Amino acid sequence: MIKRLLLSCACIALITGCATTATVTPPPERPVSETAPTAADAKAYVEAAEAKLGDLSEYAARVAWVRNTYITHDTMWLESKATAAFTEESVRLATGAARFNDVNTDPETRRKLNLLKLSLVVPAADRAGAAAEIADISTRLDSTYATGRFTHKGKTYTLDEASQILATSRDPALLRAMFEGWRTVSVPMKADYARLVGLTNEGAQGLGFADTGALWRSGYDMSPDAFASETDRLWAQVNPFYKNLHCYVRRQLNAHYGDAVQPKHGPIRADLLGNMWAQDWANIYDIVAPKSLPKSAYSLDRLLTQKKYTPEKMMRTGEAFYTSLGLAPLPESFWQRSMITRPRDREVVCHASAWDLDNRDDVRVKMCTQVNAEDFYTIHHELGHNYYQRAYKDQPFLFKNGANDGFHEAIGDFIGLSSVTPVYLNQIGLLDKVPDASEDIPYLLKMALGKIAFLPFSVVVDRWRWEVYSGQITPNRYNERWWQLVNDYQGLTPPGVRPRDAFDPGAKYHVPANVPYTRYFLAHIYQFQFHKAACDQMGWQGPLHRCSIYGRRDVGQKFNAMMEMGASQPWPDALEAFTGTRETDAAAIAAYFAPLNDWLTQENKGQNCGW
């Protein structure tokens, strides 16, 4: 998550806060009767705006933190009021920045003026009541999701409970019940979501963008259309490998469940893939594991249990990875104030997120941590946000952010690539012996079931929203178009006909929470670029998937230098600072998974791949 999100009215999964009191003092503006604004005026405007936003953000963060970790009617009310006021101020500042569009300013001031406009992920129109209505809807949507429950055969299920069944059960009837049951939670969100789309489009148009989707696509130092084309280019690089994986997994599912449940041809039934959104297939490794190859010598889930890891010990292990690179330990306040496990006495937002409450050192993680491999990885990921936040803390307020939102997600995922290698697990004493090369294909298959399976899903979420915001999809076609895109990109289908009133996109947290999702697609490209660059810096000669950067202070020094840049420069500058290249490239993914792709090609010989 990134600071740009924090300046939205949603105020969820924050990196800093996004609320304020209703009484604010505007930055100085020249009277209308005066002459045209100057470069000095623009600089003064930006400095005053940064001071105001900086002052407001700590209050904003604390309001949002309380609502996320203690959901009640009152905390929802407080966040709604605070976010409305903050959004109104942000809209005023962003609109005022347009006054300097034709002023010849210095590059830093121009970048900050642009960032002021791009900071509003969920923009409100510059009129009375617009920000308040958006805040009310956003808080209601988020809390509806967070407190969602459904009933099956007399038992009530939370998302956590349903997800666990999807991960472990092999009963197709029960899998379907959990998959469809959770999607009843999102049905009441549809009207609110459609209203929110109209309101945010009005706000985006007031800032000079065609719609909210165009505003989101403008945050990458290129035009919205150029960015859409860039994501198409990157997806084309990885699509052939995804289709190879899809073909193999479908065949294994067919062998396990039979033609009546999973046909040999066509799309895969989404509920069979071990994840509520079929975005990560690692939980069905037991079904798709190659029978001709040796079984894995270890299970990270079992290792963590056997070594008596607790949620806090997992978190401290994650911190130790970053400090092994030469980065400073987390402050004591992190351990005092973070929510590391789910409280038993109240409703909370369990979706893992990293927070920076004061733009300096009060960083925290909010997780309902379980002792398992998935959360072991997630911890390394979320701490990446915190370490990025601390690295750029000395930048001006508008530059306290990632080079782009994909960078913020990629930092922790880059560390995560090392965190699950047998080499790293051996380095920290979790694994006694590193398996030999005979286990490389099983290891890479497990990784691909998570990393590669995720890529098309990460494209679908925002492709759907871009079409919603542009008006290509009307509310009566929300669900129909969602599943068309899921079929086109992922090659998946629902387990049965969806009801006419279904709103399945809303069953994914980031949709009602209004969190842009293409950042995760970019992060999955960047993380492999970062990993390959780091391993090259080390002089690593072995297979890329066996490289661990744990303990490499030389890598950490260069890594931190990139993070310290924050958003002060266009993202290609930050990419070049660490990798030596200015272009996003999925070639590192091909290099990492090359042995697996060759193996899959052999396994799929004679198969009718595609859907």
pLDDT per residue as tens digits for the range 104-156: 999 999 999 999 988 888 888 888 999 889 989 998 998 899 899 999 999 99
Cα–Cα distance, 564 to 387 (Å, whole number): 10
CB neighbourhood size of 193 (10 A): 20
Residue 218: band (very low, low, confident or very high) from pLDDT cuts 50, 70, 90: very high
pLDDT at site 90 = 82
What region does 395 belong to: left with phi over 0, alpha with psi -120 to 50, or beta? beta
Active site residues: 382, 510
Q: What is the DSSP letter of 207?
A: T
Lowest-confidence segment of 433-437, 553-557, 583-587, 589-593 by average pLDDT: 433-437
Q: Look-up: residue for tokens 């070594």?
A: 307
> CA dihedral in degrees (394, 396, 397, 402; nearest 10)?
-70
Q: With a cut of 90, say whether residue 84 has pLDDT above it.
A: no
pLDDT at site 2 = 33
pLDDT at site 455 = 98
Residue 563: band (very low, low, confident or very high) from pLDDT cuts 50, 70, 90: very high
DSSP run (H or E) holding 155: strand 155-157
Cα–Cα distance, 304 to 391 (Å, whole number): 30
Q: What is the mean pLDDT of residues 91-95?
A: 86
In this structure, are residues 87 and 124 in contact, taking their beta carbons and an 8 Å threshold? yes
Question: How far is the CA of 350 from the CAs of 96, 148, 365, 409, 564, in angstroms?
Answer: 37, 12, 11, 18, 29
Q: With a cut of 60, say whether residue 5 has pLDDT above it.
A: no
| Chain centroid offset of residue 513 CA | 12
In this structure, are residues 137 and 192 in contact, taking their beta carbons and an 8 Å threshold? yes
Q: What is the mean pLDDT of residues 178-203?
A: 97
Residue 461: band (very low, low, confident or very high) from pLDDT cuts 50, 70, 90: very high
pTM: 0.87
Residue 34: band (very low, low, confident or very high) from pLDDT cuts 50, 70, 90: low
Lowest-confidence segment of 53-57, 196-200, 562-566 by average pLDDT: 53-57
The most distant pair of C-alpha atoms in the chain lies apart, rounded to whole Å, by 81
Q: With a cut of 70, say whether residue 488 has pLDDT above it.
A: yes
Under 8 Å CB-to-CB from 538, ≥6 apart: which residues? Answer: 547, 549, 552, 554, 555
Lowest-confidence segment of 95-99, 144-148, 360-364, 460-464 by average pLDDT: 95-99
In this structure, are residues 245 and 278 in contact, taking their beta carbons and an 8 Å threshold? no
Residue 55: band (very low, low, confident or very high) from pLDDT cuts 50, 70, 90: confident
> CA dihedral in degrees (29, 31, 34, 37; nearest 10)?
20
Under 8 Å CB-to-CB from 194, ≥6 apart: which residues? Answer: 475, 478
Q: With a cut of 90, say whether residue 486 has pLDDT above it.
A: yes
Q: With a cut of 60, say whether residue 17 has pLDDT above it.
A: no
In this structure, are residues 354 and 386 in contact, taking their beta carbons and an 8 Å threshold? yes
In this structure, are residues 508 and 446 in contact, taking their beta carbons and an 8 Å threshold? no
pLDDT at site 81 = 85
What region does 255 belong to: left with phi over 0, alpha with psi -120 to 50, or beta? alpha
Q: With a cut of 70, say whether residue 10 has pLDDT above it.
A: no
Cα–Cα distance, 194 to 348 (Å, whole number): 25
Q: What is the mean pLDDT of residues 231-250?
A: 97
Mean pLDDT across the chain, nearest whole number? 91
Cα–Cα distance, 578 to 549 (Å, whole number): 14
pLDDT at site 25 = 36
Residue 302: band (very low, low, confident or very high) from pLDDT cuts 50, 70, 90: very high
pLDDT at site 35 = 78
pLDDT at site 92 = 86
- Which residues on adjacent β-strands are paired with residue 365? 354
Phi, psi of 255, rounded to the nearest 5 degrees: -65, -35
Q: 3-class DSSP state for residue 156?
A: strand
Pairing assessment for the beta strands 268-269 and 155-157 based on DSSP bridges: unpaired
